[in-house]
Amino acid sequence: MPLNHMFLEFINGGPCIINPLLPLSISSVTMVIDFTFIFLFFSLIIYFFFIFNKKPNRSNSRNLPPGPPKLPIIGNIHQIAGALPHHAFRHLAKKYGPIMHMQLGQISTIIVSSPHLAKDVFKTNDLALASRPTSLLADIVLYGGSDVALGPYGDYWRQLKKIITVELLSAKKVRSFSSFRQQEVGSFVEFIRSASGKPVTIREKVTKMINNIVCKSSFGDNCKQQDVLIELVDELGRLVSGFYVADLFPEFGFLSVISGMKSKLTTIHKSLDRIFDEIFEERKSRRLRNGESEDDLLDVLFTIKESGGLQIPITDNNIKAVFVNMFTGGTDTSAMTIEWAMTEMMKNPNVMEKAQKEVRETFKGKKTIVEDDLKDLVYLKLVIKETLRLHPPLPLLLPRECMEQCQIDGYDIPIKTKVIVNAYACAVNPEYWEDAESFKPERFDKSSVDFMGTNFEFVPFGSGRRMCPGITFGLTSIEFALAQMLYYFDWKLPSGLSPKDIDMTENDGATATQKVPLSVTPTLNSSI
Ligand code: HEM
What is the phi-psi region of residue 291: left when phi exceeds 0, alpha when psi lies from -120 to 50, beta otherwise?
left
**Cα of 71 from ligand 1 centre, angstroms:** 34
Task: Decide whether any atom of ligand 1 lies within 6 Å of the 441 Cβ.
Answer: no
Q: Which of 500, 434, 459, 509 lies closest to 113, judged by CA?
A: 459
Instruction: Indicate which residue's Cα is closest to atom 19 of ligand 1.
Output: 468
3-state secondary structure of 102: strand
Q: Which of 125, 132, 468, 479 to mutate to test the pocket of ligand 1 (most atoms within 8 A of CB)?
A: 468
pLDDT of residue 81: 86
Strands 400-401, 200-201: parallel, antiparallel or unpaired by DSSP? Answer: unpaired
Check residue 451 and report its DSSP letter.
S
Task: Decide whether any atom of ligand 1 lies within 6 Å of the 122 Cβ.
Answer: no
**Contact partners, residue 283, CB within 8 Å, separation at least 6:** 219, 222, 298, 299, 302
Query: Does ipTM surpass 0.95 in this model?
Result: yes
Task: Decide whether any atom of ligand 1 lies within 6 Å of the 208 Cβ.
Answer: no
**Cα of 395 from ligand 1 centre, angstroms:** 12
Task: Decide whether any atom of ligand 1 lies within 6 Å of the 151 Cβ.
Answer: no
**Cα of 351 from ligand 1 centre, angstroms:** 27
Task: Decide whether any atom of ligand 1 lies within 6 Å of the 462 Cβ.
Answer: yes
- Ligand 1: nearest atom to the Cα of 478: 1
User: Which residue spans within 301-349 are E strands per DSSP?
Assistant: none
pLDDT of residue 367: 87
3-state secondary structure of 521: strand
Task: Give the separation between CA 400 and CA 387, rounded to whole angstroms.
Answer: 25
pLDDT of residue 234: 82
| Residue 136 and residue 409 in contact, taking contact as beta carbons nearer than 8 Å | no
59, HSE (Cβ side, Cα atoms, 13 Å): 17
**Contact partners, residue 457, CB within 8 Å, separation at least 6:** 115, 426, 427, 429, 432, 433, 449
pLDDT of residue 48: 55
Instruction: Show pLDDT as tens, one digit a residue, over the chain (528 residues).
Output: 333 333 333 333 333 322 222 222 222 332 233 334 444 454 455 455 545 544 444 445 689 999 999 999 999 999 998 889 999 999 999 999 999 999 999 999 999 999 999 999 999 999 999 999 999 999 999 999 999 999 999 999 999 999 999 999 999 999 999 999 999 999 999 999 999 999 999 999 999 999 999 999 999 876 778 888 888 888 887 776 557 788 899 999 898 898 889 999 999 999 999 999 999 999 999 888 877 667 899 999 999 999 988 999 999 999 999 999 999 999 999 999 999 999 999 999 999 999 999 999 999 988 899 999 999 999 999 999 999 999 999 999 999 999 999 999 999 999 999 999 999 999 999 999 999 999 999 999 999 999 999 999 999 999 999 999 999 999 999 999 999 999 999 999 998 899 999 999 998 777 788 999 999 999 999 877
| Residue 293 and residue 48 in contact, taking contact as beta carbons nearer than 8 Å | no
CA distance from start to end of the chain: 46
